[in-house]
Structures are given as C-alpha cells and as structure tokens.
Structure 1
C-alpha cells in the first residue's frame, strides 16, 4: 500500500523499509494468539534490530500501522526521530466511556457479520478511487476471518488514554478529507493541538487510504515535512 511512496522517498535519498504486519500479506500464519498492538510494535523493533538499524528513524503508518507507530514512540521514544500518521485515531487521548464501549463491543458485531459482506464494506469504505478499493478488497481477501478477528481484538485494546502525555517528536498527522472511519476526522484537530511539534494536513480527494487515493498531494506533503525534520543527508 506504500508503493506510491517508496519511489519518491528512495529518489530523495532515503532508505525505505516496508513490512507486512503479522497476520497481513505474507506475514502468516498469524502466530501466537491472543496478540495485541504491543506485539506488533515489538515485531517492528525486532526487524529494525535484525537489519542493524540502531539510530532513531522515521516511523510511519496508516490506520492500524499508525496505531503501531504510536505504540512504538510511546514505549521506545529513543527509536523514533519523526512520526508520520495516516488515517489513525490517537490512542492516548482521553475518550468518552461510551466510545470505549463501542470499540470493545465491535468485536462481537464483527464476529457475527457475514464475512463476504464485511469484506465488501471494508473495501468500499476504505478508499475513494476504484483501483484503491480493489486493492483493499484483495488485501482483506488474503486474511481469514479468524485472523481478522484476532487483529481487530488487538485494535480494540490499543487505547491507553493519558491526559498528560505528549508526543515529543515531529509529527505529520494526515487523513483524507473523505475519511469516514471512526472518529479520525473529528478528533484530529484536538490531537494536533495537543502535541507541540505536530503538523496537521488534510489530504483532499482522499478517503481512509489517503496515501493511495491522492499520492501526488500526499507525497509532496511528506517530502516537505521530512526535508525540514528528517533530511536524507
């Protein structure tokens, strides 16, 4: 899903690593269950160590990937130089109890939702452009429902509201103007106002997968941000 970013980043002089989160793509079988976002963040640290990447890096993620990136900077801030978030909810902002309940209970709804229909809904609500919707459908088709439920279980337990917490590294916070997933669009301004080094950019003509729906605009924003806060040299 980051194919449109790898070329421009490499062309600007960056070393780029993309990876399949456990349970996604070719990172299967899913392994030990139950598992959570903390396990996925540990996987990323292990991968960086395996590649002998010791210094702080730019960590980016979309949706669940953005949640993992937040978990990493929370648990190991020394590993992160800058953070790039696409279409994710802030896991450390306080949220109403009813929203916490709704997130936890969604696992029950998904368990009984017919899988083919749920995959169709996921694909059509993920993106604005038909080719990106087709990509999303192919990606979710590769995940058995049992694995999807385990992954979603981890998402429902990823929130750690902490009123005094701040992300203290430069943060590029983005989401699509057409993103209707959860509370992302509604809560992004409060997140941007909370963190002292945050740049909040809305990607026009884009849904949840904003980096795929409008890669030209997103890439300009990303490269400008990195040139200022994380130059390739």
Structure 2
C-alpha cells in the first residue's frame, strides 16, 4: 500500500491519512497503541479491491502523524481526531474497524455518536462497557506503572513478544513499537485504559463484529470478548495461530473475516 498522502492539521498534532476511492460502503481502519496504519495493509487492500472506499490513518504521535512539541497523547484528543477525520472526508456512516486502542476508540465513537456509523468491527480490544472484576481493575491500574519500569531499549521487544506469535509478526511489531518514544507510549497506554467505562445493560446500537487472535494474552481480551459476544448474541471470530497483533500474524484470515462482516452488513442494509 502507498504511504499516507492526506494531511489534517489538528490542535497539537498533524494527522496523516490515506483515502482510497470506492463506490461501496466506506470502511475506516484505526490501528492499535504503538502500531501504525500498515498493520491493516492487507485488510485495507482486500476491502478496496472489493469496491469499498477505504480510509486508513495514523493516530497522533504514531507512524507518519506527529505530536507538536509539548503536546501529550490523550484519549480525548484521539477521539476528536477520529471525528474530525470523518468530518473532513465527508464520510457518512462508515464501518469502523479498530484494533486494540483503535477498537476502544471506535467503541467510544459508536457509543457517543451511534447515528454516524453503519457497523463496528472490534479486533483484539477489550469491551469498553463490559463489567470488570476486582482483579481486572487492579491489573488495569497496574499496567502503566509496570511498563514505566521497563528500560526504553527493552520495551519494543517486550511488547512485540507479548503482541505477536509468528516470527514475522514479532519482527514487524518490534520495529513499529521502536518508532514511538517511551513517554508517548506510556501516555497512549493510559489513554487506552481511560476509555474503559463499564455500563451495565449497554448494547452496541449498530451491527457488531468481534475478532481476536487465538493466542491473544493481552489484558483481559481473551476472557472479556467471549462474554461480550454472548451478551450481544454475536459470533466471536477467533483467528487460529495468531496473537494480539492478529493482522500481522494472520493477515489473510483476518482480512477474510472483516470482508465477510462488512459485505453481509451492506447486503442487509
């Protein structure tokens, strides 16, 4: 896929994006913490070849998007960036596909602005609105302080081995994690945690797809996503032989699941 060609100037940041024309339902891909748009290269290509308008972008402080000097990464700013990007491109009710932090942001978007999305595909992200046990709350609060103790030189490798299971996925993850400064990554991690807001009885108001790698051991995703699927009576699509960065470990299988979901929702609309 080509590099990002679009530029959106935001308060405290410059956001870069790519907008691939297509006559079918728009699909917006949002990557996870510490990664960048390239993790969705294969699914984006598959959806575009199927005729969809496809948008990928880099969150502020990631990949080709930048943070201004003195600016910090926050969930509020990232959320506003997503809203502004859709406004800027004039996208009407796209399908939102988000991985990890991107999945948390996409959930927050649908929760706050349900009329602006046609569907939601959450890839290896926890359930924002789901219940949290005492242990889960404790571990969420402990995550950022624990990562802060890891030397910057070791953090990319540690995160890569926790995020992928194939040699190729680990190598690509480590190279991408290494591009983001530790202080920014810690802010990003805190932002991810801040998006988790349990709300008993909440149900996603648009079509929902849940996808995760079979060997995802990040946070509580492996236990929360099955509970979420059961609560909303939707299928959980578990990709074999893949970890948290499922699009790097098993790109073709993940792309096929996402395309099937998007095509089915379009046909049912």
Q: TM-score range by the shorter chain?
A: over 0.9
| TM-score, normalised with respect to structure 1 | 0.92
Q: Which moved more, 1:177-186 or 1:96-105?
A: 96-105
Matches of 1:150 and 1:31 in 2, distance apart? 15
Which residue in 2 is equivalent to 1:113? 150
Distance 1:32 1:97, change over 3 A: farther
Task: Please report how far the alpha carbon of residue 189 of structure 1 lies from its aligned counterpart in structure 2 after TM superposition.
Answer: 1.3
Task: Please report how far the alpha carbon of residue 68 of structure 1 lies from its aligned counterpart in structure 2 after TM superposition.
Answer: 0.7
Which residue in 2 is equivalent to 1:142? 179
RMSD over aligned Cα, in angstroms? Answer: 1.9
Task: Please report how far the alpha carbon of residue 33 of structure 1 lies from its aligned counterpart in structure 2 after TM superposition.
Answer: 4.9
Higher RCO (CA < 8 A, seq sep 6+): 1
Which residue in 1 is equivalent to 2:231? 194
Which residue in 2 is equivalent to 1:96? 133
Matches of 1:161 and 1:50 in 2, distance apart? 31
- Would you say the 8 A contact 2:156–2:175 is kept in 1? no
Matches of 1:71 and 1:39 in 2, distance apart? 13
Which residue in 2 is equivalent to 1:51? 89
2:53 aligned counterpart, secondary structure: coil
Greater helix fraction, Structure 1 or Structure 2: 1
Aligned pairs for 1:77-92 (under 5 A) are 77-92=114-129
Matches of 2:143 and 2:245 in 1, distance apart? 21
Aligned match of 2:101 in 47, 64, 78? 64
Aligned match of 1:24 in 58, 62, 66? 62
For residues 31-83 of structure 1, the C-alpha deviation after alignment (integer angstroms, 9 at most, x for no partner) is 77554323212111101111121x21100111111111111111111111111
Which residue in 2 is equivalent to 1:38? 76
Matches of 2:179 and 2:57 in 1, distance apart? 16
Matches of 2:42 and 2:175 in 1, distance apart? 17
Extract unaligned runs of 5+ from structure 1: none
Extract unaligned runs of 5+ from structure 2: 1-38
Which residue in 2 is equivalent to 1:211? 247
Q: How many residues align?
A: 231
Q: Does 1:183 align with 2:220?
A: yes
Distance 1:199 1:31, change over 3 A: farther
Matches of 2:135 and 2:194 in 1, distance apart? 15
- Would you say the 8 A contact 1:23–1:151 is kept in 2? no
Matches of 1:40 and 1:110 in 2, distance apart? 21
Matches of 1:220 and 1:24 in 2, distance apart? 26
- Would you say the 8 A contact 2:125–2:221 is kept in 1? yes
